A and B are shown apart, each in its own frame.
Chain A
Amino acid sequence: MSDEAASAPVKLFFREAIARALAEEMARDEHIRLFGQDIGAFGGAYKEFLGLFERFGPARVRDMPVAEASMVGVAVGAAAMGCRSLVSITYMDFLMLGLDPLVNYAAKARFKTAGQITVPVVVKATLGAKGQGVAHSQCLESWLMGVPGLRVVAPSTPADAYGLLKSALREPGPVVFLDHKRLFPIAGDVPSGEGLVPIGSAAVRRSGADVTVTAHAAMVRVALDAAEQLAAEGVSCEVIDLRTLAPLDVPTLAASAARTCALVTVEEGQVACGVGAEVAARLAETIGPLPVARVGALPAPVSSSASLERAVLPDAARVAGAVRRLLRQRGLERA
């Protein structure tokens, strides 16, 4: 095979990128164990665990009862003993049931024992709304960003799902890996060789001069659609995919915002104390006061009713509207 053929990327479904990362890391490190609901023979809610049970067996791919506190606790305890673990929480909404072992133990262990105990655990949870109602739709990632000792990542492409999951499975401490219901239908190119994506690194998805638009997970596509709409109006957006929420890639974000002097943050979760709030505050502290608008869900739960869900979640039109308002406001202030 020529070098070109060997290095040509391969197109994979989002779920295949996850399964591939897991298979590679589990082959590389015989200690890695997976815990979750329906991840064994069933292959996972989104088939993102397909093939792993058959290849690695029931000792390493363990189905657990519907009991998130013990799912996370067992994974954390095993990891604390040196058995690197990944626990899959099917809906981020139910990660709340496992927050005690995650936040009070895993995130504290290295500090409280002065490094005697470290917890190499990945908590995978699926974000987002897709017709399943108020308790199966939430994006709560901002709640975790301020926990010292916890890393939080949220890929938006199959390549980044693959690369970030591999990196997460090599971290010495706890990492929350967030995929998204509405990302599973997408396919994309994934490097054919090992392509780790470093934790703490954002990606500029579209270069632009007039405004910095930040987003993560399923909102990246929404931001890019808005940018496309705005380009037709002569507005040039720089769209940045955060990829890692904690720690934020402040240098990349700051470099962009310093040029554009306008920031619009986009998230599917709530803006109150949200991802955008942290991005805006960190950038203002880094480069000085900055015109900012945050776009997020309306302050309401997300119903299973399609019309209500559509109304609550941000879409390209709302993002474009926020950009226009911000630029107009900034224009008025400068006049």
Chain B
Amino acid sequence: MDLDQAAPLLRSMLLIRAFEAALMRRPDHGFQLLSQGEEGVAVGVCAGLTEHDQLLCSGRSIAPALARGLAPGSVMAELLGRSGGPCRGQGGRGHIADPAAGFFGAHAVVAGNLTIAAGVALALQSEGRGGVAVCLFGDGACGAGALHETLNIAALWKLPLVLVCDNNGLAISTPRTAALAPAALADLAAPFGVPGAAVDGSDVLAVAAQARLFVEAARAGAGPAFLECRSPRLATHSSSTRETRSKTEMEALRQRCPIAVLAARLEAVGLMTQEDRMRMEGEAAAAVAEAEAFAEASPPADIEEALRHVG
């Protein structure tokens, strides 16, 4: 294991965790979908992306936005509907985007970003600079026809598209077993001749390794791939959804927290101490405090300005 590789991933996950905790302490947090427990998926995937690539995601966008490198202050502002966000507060969590930074963005319609991502991949393919489109979505999107259509056209045209299914086993309250016939979601790609793999989503290094393989293959013209990451959802589906799981189940899931998993591994091989971790957590907290201050100082989204963007 390489500390140079692992430390930034840990920092990124710590930032996301601290960010979401701070967000939810605010009275004005609004309607949020948290990435708690699933940070390893976004962070692992982003580790292998370059400035030529575009990341798309679902409404669970906080980890993807921060992992892709958007400034925490601007992300906080966007989530709070303030004009300091990359979308001037007009998109919010459901639609936050910064294409210049390689974050083509979130789209809150379940499975709604999949065919769009195929179009983005087509454009990248024509540009010929080796750019890859990566689209994050949940297990909840796997029953949608849009996934079938996207796999089909991506395979036919050998699009540089990596589909990453963040499988936390629940579509709000519906367990995967009640919603989807296949147990192994990566198998959904097989009928199209698209390579698939499943990894433990709470092992950020495993996510990073497999994602990198698929992204580089797509970059080299090998076509699309499907990566299933099995991750633990440690919070409820959204800030307005009830928890349906038992305390025992939640306790077991917390053992799979990607931050705890990586920190334990680093400590076990002596690459990191408790003090190192506390220092990192302190740095994350400071960054988040700065982000909140930035967002609070940012004026709310303005209707006159917004109306000019209708088109």
Contact = CB atoms under 8 A, between A and B. Distances in A.
Interface of A: 59, 64-65, 67, 69-70, 72-83, 85, 100-101, 104-105, 107-108, 110-118, 148-149, 172-174
B153 A114 contact: no
A98 to B, nearest CB: 9
Interface in B268-311: 305-306, 309-311
Given A65-B152, A74-B153, A105-B116, A83 B122 contact: yes
Contacts of A116: 86-87, 97-100
Given A64-B153, A65-B152, A116-B87, A77 B122 contact: yes
A76 B105 contact: no
Contacts of B115: 69-70, 72-74, 76-77, 101
B107 to A, nearest CB: 6
Contact of B123 (A72, A78, A104): A78
B146 interface: yes
Interface string B146-177: 10011011001000000000000000000000
B118 A81 contact: no
A104 B118 contact: no
B117 interface: yes
Contacts of B88: 114
A110 B309 contact: yes
Given A114-B90, A172-B311, 20 more contacts: A67-B149, A69-B146, A69-B149, A70-B146, A70-B152, A77-B119, A80-B116, A82-B123, A100-B109, A105-B109, A111-B309, A112-B91, A112-B97, A113-B86, A113-B91, A114-B87, A115-B309, A117-B99, A118-B311, A149-B310
Interface of B: 54, 86-88, 90-91, 95, 97-100, 104-105, 107, 109, 112-124, 126, 145-146, 149-150, 152-153, 156, 305-306, 309-311
- Greatest chain B CB density within 10 A among A108, A112, A117 is at A112
A113 B87 contact: yes
The 6 closest A-B pairs by CB, nearest first: A77-B119, A73-B115, A81-B123, A70-B149, A114-B88, A77-B116
A168 to B, nearest CB: 14
B306 A111 contact: yes
A31 to B, nearest CB: 8
A77 B119 CA distance: 4
Given A65-B152, A173-B311, A112 B87 contact: yes
Contact of B310 (A70, A83, A105, A110): A110
A77 B118 contact: yes
A104 B119 contact: no
Contacts of A110: 309-311
A73 B95 contact: no
Contacts of A115: 309
B149 A113 contact: no
Contacts of A77: 115-123
A75 B153 CA distance: 12
Nearest to B305: A114
B66 to A, nearest CB: 18
Nearest to B122: A78
A118 B97 CA distance: 12
A59 B126 CA distance: 9
Contacts of A111: 90, 306, 309-311
Contacts of A83: 122-123, 126
20 contacts: A64-B153, A70-B150, A72-B115, A73-B118, A74-B119, A76-B115, A76-B119, A78-B119, A80-B116, A81-B124, A83-B123, A112-B91, A113-B95, A113-B99, A113-B105, A114-B86, A114-B309, A117-B104, A148-B311, A172-B311
Nearest to B109: A104
A67 B112 contact: no
Contacts of B116: 73, 76-77, 80, 101, 105
Given A76-B119, A116-B97, A104 B149 contact: no
